[in-house]
Amino acid sequence: MLFNSLAFVAFFPIVCLLYWLLPHRWRNLFLLIASYYFYMNWKPAYALLIGFSTIVTWVCGRHIADSAGKAKKVSLVVCLVLNFAILFIYKYLNFATGAVFSLLDLAGLRMAVPEFDILLPVGISFYTFQAVGYTIDVYRGTIRPERNFFTYALFVSFFPQLVAGPIERAANLLPQFHTRHKFNGENLIEGFKLMIWGYFMKLCIAGNVSVYVDAVFNNLPNHNGTSVIMAAFFFTFQIFCDFGGYSLIAIGVARCMGFNLMQNFNRPYFATSVKEFWRRWHISLSTWFMDYVYIPLGGSRCSRAKHLRNLLITFVVSGVWHGANWTFVVWGAYHGLLLCGHTIRVKFLHIKESTTGLMKAVNIVFTFVLAMAGWIFFRANTLSDAVQAFHHILYRRGPLFIGEGKSEMALPLVLIALLVLKELKDEMGWNIHLMHNKNVYVSAVSSALMIIVIAVCAQFESGAFIYFQF
């Protein structure tokens, strides 16, 4: 079920209402059923995969907590192998097979590449990482294993963040399922406002720019460098508004039911360096990789060479996490290299970053351009498409493709300006509040106007969220 579908518009109010009407002891079970219903709307059989992952991580978590030494380690390894094996089969098998056969081809052994007809389960990377994170935390002793299986199953499948995050930590979310939530009007209104802004980002901005982005990136031979730059600029906002919008809706939906999910984006395009960008972008995944990949590799507490190696490995793995395509691998490596460059500059050469005045603005723009260049790899359908896009940018100039007309180009630009203005207000801490005004009437009218903006500007046929495929 998509957040931007009419089915969800009917589903959520019913679930929210019943949740608050039910006695506390039934609420978790009800949310568990609702979450599985939410997921099974897409492909019922794939709920078995969530179930399997839930059982494996729960049983292993219990076993890890009850054992010590080698047995504890074996349980963790079994848990990781089983979970990542499923992820590998459903997400990477075709990609890996293709890569192996390409290598064989290079070695002179030409064979037909077998194609496995596997449909990628929506959100598999998200719930796998969340469940695996729980097991590692239990192994490390940072949390106690969850005793109640159904509560744990809800932690893995909680519908607001099931298919595209935020990837929650057990230490944050699990205790909330044990808390006796009392109905709180402020939470309901706050959640509603977050959902409104999330829908604005997804339907108005991501939806409207997607038309142009798809027209250019799906037909690169027909477009010149000017149009590719414009498409890359639009995609930079599309990916942020698509995923950031989803995260806000997820956080808002959870808030309406009294749950607090972690913040996933913090105005990433106001970052003054690539390092800061990754502190603001997809925070739940960045911190996951930091805690479970980068630090176990040695983090920064090792030799300079190993520090850089750790950064590069972490970002390449992060790229692979995003999808089974060389474009994501290169995107991850690109960011890894940028971060290595930043580390060398700041940590090894001790060149200080200016964080005030004009230089800050220059750094923001420079970081934005670097991120935008990276998104070309991310959006291109193939690696050769990405190369072609850069080739067009450098060597093939021409008039800007204006797609469906100037008005259709102007609308996304106006909506992006509105978003940037709001982000700037938050970044600068300006004390102007409309939707979050303390006066209930100002707040309500602002919310209503935002709903109207969504209704009249939204691209309702903008389809699924991009991050569903991961």
Partner 1 sequence: MKTILKYFLCVLVVVVGFDLLLGFVAKRYVTTHILPGDYQAIDYLINRSNEECLIIGSSLAINSLMPSLMEDSLGMTCYNGGANAQSMPYFETMLDCVFRRYTPKMVIFVLDPNELSRKGLGQRYNVLVPYYGCGHELIDRNLESKDAVEPWLLRSASYRYNRIWWRILLYHFIGYSNKSDKGFVPHERPMSLPMLKTIQNEDTVQACVDSFVRCMTICNDRGVKVVCVFPPGYYSPVNGAFQSVNVVEEECLKINAVCIDDSQDSTFLEHPEWFYDNKHFNIDGSVIYTKQFLQELKAHSQTQQ
Query: Minimum distance between the CB of residue 397 and partner 1, rounded to whole angstroms?
Result: 9
For partner 1, the closer CB: 221 or 357: 221
**Residue 404: how many CA atoms within 13 Å on its side-chain side?**
14
For partner 1, the closer CB: 18 or 86: 18
Query: Minimum distance between the CB of residue 127 and partner 1, rounded to whole angstroms?
Result: 30
What sign results for the dihedral spanned by CA atoms 209, 215, 219, 220?
Answer: negative
Query: Minimum distance between the CB of residue 75 and partner 1, rounded to whole angstroms?
Result: 47
Burial (0-12, 13-18, 19+ Cβ within 10 Å), 407: exposed
Please say if 282 is a catalytic residue: no
For partner 1, the closer CB: 172 or 443: 443
Residues that bind partner 1 (CB under 8 A): 6, 185-186, 188-189, 208, 221-224, 396, 398-399, 404-405, 407, 410-411, 440-441, 443-445, 447-449, 451-452, 455-461
Burial (0-12, 13-18, 19+ Cβ within 10 Å), 462: buried
Please give the single-letter amino acid code of residue 159: F
Query: Minimum distance between the CB of residue 12 and partner 1, rounded to whole angstroms?
Result: 15
For partner 1, the closer CB: 3 or 288: 3
Pick the catalytic residue: 63, 307, 322, 335?
A: 322
CA dihedral 462, 466, 469, 470 (to 10 degrees): -160
Q: How far apart are CA 93 and CA 95, in angstroms?
A: 5
For partner 1, the closer CB: 200 or 278: 200
Query: Minimum distance between the CB of residue 443 and partner 1, rounded to whole angstroms?
Result: 7
Query: Minimum distance between the CB of residue 449 and partner 1, rounded to whole angstroms?
Result: 7
For partner 1, the closer CB: 27 or 223: 223
Residues marked active site are found at 322
